[in-house]
Amino acid sequence: MHKLTIAEIARKLRSKEFSSEEITRHLLQRISELDTRYNSFVTVTAEQAIAQAKQADTRLASGDTEPMCGVPFAHKDIFCTNSVLTTCGSKMLSNFVPPYDACVVTNFKNAGAVMLGKTNMDEFAMGSSNETSYYGPVKNPWDTNCVPGGSSGGSAAAVAALLAPGATATDTGGSIRQPAALCGITGIKPTYGRVSRWGMIAFASSLDQAGVMAKSAEDAAIMLNTMASFDEKDSTCVDQPLEDYTAGLGNPLAGVTVGIPKEYFGEGLNAGTQAAVEAAIKELEKAGAKIKSISLPHTHLAVPAYYVIAPAECSANLSRFDGVRYGYRCDEPKDLEDLYKRSRGEGFGDEVKRRILVGTYCLSAGYYDAYYGKAQVVRRLIKQDFVEAFKEVDVIAGPTSPSPAFQFGAKSDDPVAMYLEDIYTIATNLAGLPGMSLPCGLVDDKPVGLQLIGNYFAEGKLLNLAHQFQQATDFHSLAPASIA
């Protein structure tokens, strides 16, 4: 049962091969048996999941047609869940139980989906290896000595280890696509503004975007249909008509032009990764796509610009965690300043503190223009690169990350090496474009991801390409040998 895709589960629930309660109990059992290996969940909501499954079974019996109805899945622990602990991977929120649901959580509840639990993540989504979580690192199911990527490492590992057929995730600078690549699954970050950020704990507001992780492009399309909505509570949400992302999956690729940015194949790219990605591009060509070499000349500025803008925004976004109203508070504060200093000093981990400091510095009097101001200029240039490129091509393709999963500790002492993990993904966030990653091969028995980047609101096109690729290949159905 745990090997099934969401599309298959939806069918079998309706053909009564099993009930939602049965598959939910099965997956909860798997989680309790296996997740000690992966540490992909922070909280498992077994009781609530079974109650939701029973409700879904009633809905299914009365002919409910919502594809996610009765389908178990997991939420990244960055989404606020009413009455359920929401930690954001931090000690700061180790006691935080929100009295409200994120818009994304409401959408899945309304669809009748069954939440198995909340997945582990880098603290406040800051990290590319899941090593910054207060709840311990997540292990990559392909090799438990390796990182799953981050920040949505828990969601990626849960799907890769077949503990959940799909999971929600967020992507501020590659946090869906990089772990999807490292764990051999399919992940999509939609256009900025497509999914409401209400109730999603902010890291960098102008970059944060929720998306999904699943075993296939088809499943990602089904989940995204449920997830996407216009929400008046998020002023940055775009009031764009909703589309059925499954509708165009079968479109042929003839007439689709795929751009290959030469900057994504330079120094730093692992040879095996490069070979797998190039082979995948050939596969797209075989399926009818036209391949065209393009240039995104400001690519090299994406990481530095990102590491000014994201920390700047986070330095303000995380000010609310002050020990006054909720969350962690230090013991016996002797005055207000002591309360602030120790609550924040003890409640935040090193990477979060590093980014708050960097962001505070970048916004300081005398440095603002040189850092934040410049970074905004770069951001516009990067966006312009894409605008120009999409005049010539429909989709851009390249590697998701420079190399497959690395060992724990390999980069944790070198922030810059860690930041370069996201060298191919970050520009997409700066431009607000949709991007996805799908498995396209193995290097040393570890998965490699192919990244697809689309024009604004072209999620359907990305999913179409990915689905066609997955019809012709079986990389997405590979599972780690250790997982039965």
Partner 1 sequence: MEWETVIGLEVHVQLATQTKIFSGSSIAFGAEPNTQACAIDLAMPGTLPVANEQAFRYATMFGLAVDAEIGKRSVFERKNYFYPDLPKGYQTTQLEEPIVGPGNVDILLSSGEQKRVRIHHAHLEEDAGKSVHEGASLGFSQAMSGIDLNRAGTPLIEVVTEPDMRNAEEAVAFARKLHSIVTSLGICDGEMSQGSMRFDVNISVRLKGGELGTRTETKNLNSFRFMERCIEQEVERQIEVLEEGGTITQETRLYDGDTHTARAMRSKEEANDYRYFPCPDLLPVILDDDYIEQVRSTLPELPDARQKRFEETYSLSAYDAGTLSADAAVASYFEATAKASGDAKLAANWLMGELSAKLNAEEIAIGGSKVSAEHLAGLIARIKDQTISNKIAKQVFEAMWNGEGDADSIIDAKGLKQVSDSGALEKMVDEVMSNNPSQVDNYRKADEKKRPKMLGFFVGQIMKASNGQANPQQLNEILKNKLDAE
Catalytic positions, written as ranges: 76, 151, 175
Rounded to whole angstroms, how far apart are CA atoms 445 and 67? 34
Q: Which of 131, 143, 234, 422 binds partner 1 (CB under 8 A)?
A: 234
Under the binding rule (CB under 8 A), the answer on residue 89 touching partner 1 is no
Contact in structure between 203 and 79 (CB atoms under 8 Å)? no
* CB closer to partner 1, 149 vs 311: 311
DSSP state of 165: S
> How many C-beta neighbours within 10 Å does residue 392 have?
10
Query: Angle 268-209-303 (CA atoms, 0-180°, nearest 5)?
Result: 25
CA distances from 76 to 49, 170, 260, 359 (A): 15, 8, 32, 25
Kindly tell me which of 131 and 234 has the beta carbon lying closer to partner 1: 234
Interatomic CA distance for residues 401 and 352, integer angstroms: 22
CA distance 207 to 309: 9
Please, what is the minimum distance in Å from the beta carbon of residue 379 to partner 1?
A: 12
The yes or no reply on residue 88 touching partner 1 (CB under 8 A) is: yes
Q: Does residue number 93 form part of the binding site for partner 1 (CB under 8 A)? A: yes
* Candidate segments 4-12, 28-36, 127-135, 204-212, binder of partner 1 by CB under 8 A: 204-212
Candidate segments 147-155, 198-206, 403-411, 430-438, binder of partner 1 by CB under 8 A? 198-206
User: Which residue among 134, 372, 386, 469 contacts partner 1 (CB under 8 A)?
Assistant: 372
The window from 26-34, 144-152, 324-332, 423-431 that contacts partner 1 (CB under 8 A) reads 324-332
Q: Tell the residue number behind the tokens 């009455």, with chain if given.
A: 83
Give the residue, chosen from 19, 152, 315, 428, that forms a contact with partner 1 under the rule CB under 8 A.
315
Indicate whether 36 belongs to the interface with partner 1 (CB under 8 A): no
DSSP letter, residue 473: -
Q: Report the alpha-carbon distance of residue 277 to residue 449 in Å, rounded.
A: 8
User: Is residue 483 at the binding interface for partner 1, with CB under 8 A as the rule?
Assistant: no
Query: What sections of 112-263 are H helices per DSSP?
Result: 153-160, 177-183, 217-227
If the CB atoms of residues 324 and 370 are measured against partner 1, the closer one turns out to be: 324
Q: What is the Cα–Cα distance from 150 to 115, expressed in whole angstroms?
A: 21
**439: enclosing H helix or E strand:** strand 435-443
Within 13 A of 306's CA, how many CA atoms are on the CB side? 31
Residues 346-365 that bind partner 1 (CB under 8 A): 360, 363-365
Q: Is 199 in the site for partner 1 (CB under 8 A)?
A: yes
Among 56, 312, 448, 452, binds partner 1 (CB under 8 A): 312
Nearer to partner 1 (CB atom), residue 20 or residue 90: 90
Binding residues for partner 1, rule: CB under 8 A, are 79-80, 86, 88, 93, 96, 98-100, 102, 197-202, 204-206, 232-236, 312-313, 315-316, 318-322, 324-326, 336, 340, 360, 363-365, 368, 372
